[in-house]
Structure 1
Amino acid sequence: MKLLIIEDDAQILAFLKRGLLEDGYLVESATEGEEGLYMAMHHAYDIIVLDWMLPGKDGLEIIASLRAQYIKTPIIMLTAKDGIKDRVNGLRCGADDYVPKPFSYEELVARIEALHRRDVTQGSNTIEIGDLLINLNAKIVKKADETLELTAKEYELLLFLIKHKNAIVSNTMIESGLWGDEEYINSNVIQVTVYHLRKKIGKDLIKSYRGLGYKIEI
């Protein structure tokens, strides 16, 4: 899962990046409103964690700009503004969730996972594709009741393709979404990951389009 954190508190940002990276997330960050808005508008993220009070554009302005451009990336507001009116205002402006400071790291991660699950599956904890069953809470994939042993990247790729179901996903999109723009990967890593995933879940579920990418039809 690829996250964007827009937060100007250096200690909070370092704490979040360290924890999320250790937990296997891809994390990019910005410490100023204009920079964060540019990144959110020009790169694909699964979740944005957004502070309210920022230099330049504040969190509400960033949300308004993104939603005006029909960018629907789920957003969690992370802020010291914890009054009921503040929460209502943030949610009405287009935030998807609201976590007041000080916060529990474990709760924030749980909310990130829940929001991503809702974004991928419209709220369900499981996904069924033919004889394939994916339990998102347990991160277990079964085929005909047999549990499959997927690597972390194979599992992430499967969810990435499901999130973009019925659309062709290019190698560039996969590289950016699963490895990050700054992480070097060998040119054939994506092909190898797709090959092994198809071998495990069934070759017919992931369709290949030469020179274009891959697609799961649901």
Structure 2
Amino acid sequence: MEKIKVLIVDDEQTITQFLMLGLQNEGYIVESAADGMQAIAKAEKFEPHLIILDVMMPGMDGFEVCRMLKKKGRKLSIIMLTARDQVDDRIRGLNDGADDYLVKPFSFEELLARMQARLRNQFPEVGDSLQAGPLRIDDRRKETYLEEEVLKLSPTEYELLKYLVMNQDIVLSKALILDKVWGYSFNGEENIVEVYIRSLREKLHDKDRKLIRTIRGAGYRLDVR
């Protein structure tokens, strides 16, 4: 699978760091730029699928950056961020080529939903299929394959395996898995992760625990090498 690349353009370091960490945890490849000129240079080299672009920046503002990037003609989705809640600004951003507009403060979940909608619309060829060694996930059809075998997974097993595949070769703690698969509002015990990992191993014929490895004291890692 070709991983989705996202460029964050914002002069507020705290916002940039927050978004980078969150998006990297979601499996995106992320880079950042602190001003308009740097954004244009980074976009040329990095070739992102999507840009999260702040409007209010020193020097070249987000409107101008958006116009310049869209003039280049490359397929690219732009979501503009701003503290302004003025209809005129939203219209201006959309007229300059922005694909969506989000007003600060915003929830990370809403940003993710808007990103996924734009990516499905503009890049249907990426993002719907995940591959890790013998495992393939067709996210559009919600189907999982081990080689050519279709796995019968519950919705939670599916989401857990997808999260492991998205973060293959990375150790994931139980707490992180709970947050990403069960959600922040889940009030149950961390041991539920062990139960679902055990079930996945059975369905993946992973009796030796070589595919989903337990890293003592740290969590779990999908190892397909």
TM-score range, shorter chain: 0.5 to 0.7
| Pairing partner for 2:107 from 95, 104, 122 | 104
Which residue of the other structure, out of 17, 28, 33, is the alignment partner of 2:31?
Answer: 28
Conserved 8 A contact 2:26-2:166: no
Counterpart check, 1:81 vs 2:84: yes
The aligned residue for residue 16 of structure 1 is: 19
Task: Give the whole-Å Cα distance in 2 for the aligned partners of 1:94 and 1:47.
Answer: 13
CA gap 1:90/1:137 in 2 versus in 1, 3 angstroms: farther
CA distance change for structure 1 residues 12 and 153 in 2, over 3 Å: closer, same or farther?
Answer: closer
1:94-121 per-residue CA deviation (whole Å, 9 max, x = no partner) reads 0000000010011001111111111123
Q: Offset of 1:144 from its aligned partner?
A: 8.8
Q: Does the aligned pair in 2 maintain the 1:66–1:72 contact within 8 Å?
A: no
Task: Within 5 Å, give how 1:1-218 maps onto structure 2.
Answer: 1-121=4-124, 134-136=138-140, 138=142, 140-141=143-144, 146-147=150-151, 151-152=165-166
Letter in 2 for 1:24: G
Contact residue 47 and residue 73 of structure 1 kept, 8 A: yes
Distance 2:128 2:69 in 1: 29
CA contact (8 A) 1:117 1:136 kept: no
Gaps of 5+ in 2: 130-135, 153-160, 169-225
Are the counterparts in 1 of residues 49 and 75 from structure 2 also a CA contact under 8 Å?
A: no
CA distance in 1, matches of 2:58, 2:92: 20
1:133 Cα deviation (Å)? 9.4
Structure 1: distance between partners of 2:141 and 2:82: 27
Cα distance change, pair 153–10 in 1 and its aligned pair in 2 (3 A): closer
Cα offsets for 1:126-176 (capped at 9, x unmatched): 89xxxx9944385x456999349884379xxxxxxxxxxxxxxxxxxxxxx
Q: Counterparts of 1:137 and 1:94 in 2: how far apart (Å)?
A: 31
CA contact (8 A) 1:41 1:66 kept: no
CA distance in 1, matches of 2:37, 2:78: 16
Alignment CA distance shift 1:16-1:121 (3 Å)? same
- Indicate if the aligned counterparts of 1:77 and 1:98 stay in contact, CA closer than 8 A: yes
Residue 18 of structure 1 aligns with an amino acid whose one-letter code is L
TM-score (norm 1): 0.59
Q: Give the residue type in structure 2 aligned to 1:115.
A: R
With normalisation by structure 2, the TM-score equals: 0.57
Contact 2:10–2:16 (Cα < 8 Å) also in 1: yes
Deviation for aligned residue 1:27: 0.8
Counterpart-to-counterpart distance in 2, 1:137 and 1:84: 38
Q: Amino acid of the residue matched to residue 43 of structure 2? A: A
Paired residue type of 2:103: P
Gaps of 5+ in 1: 155-218
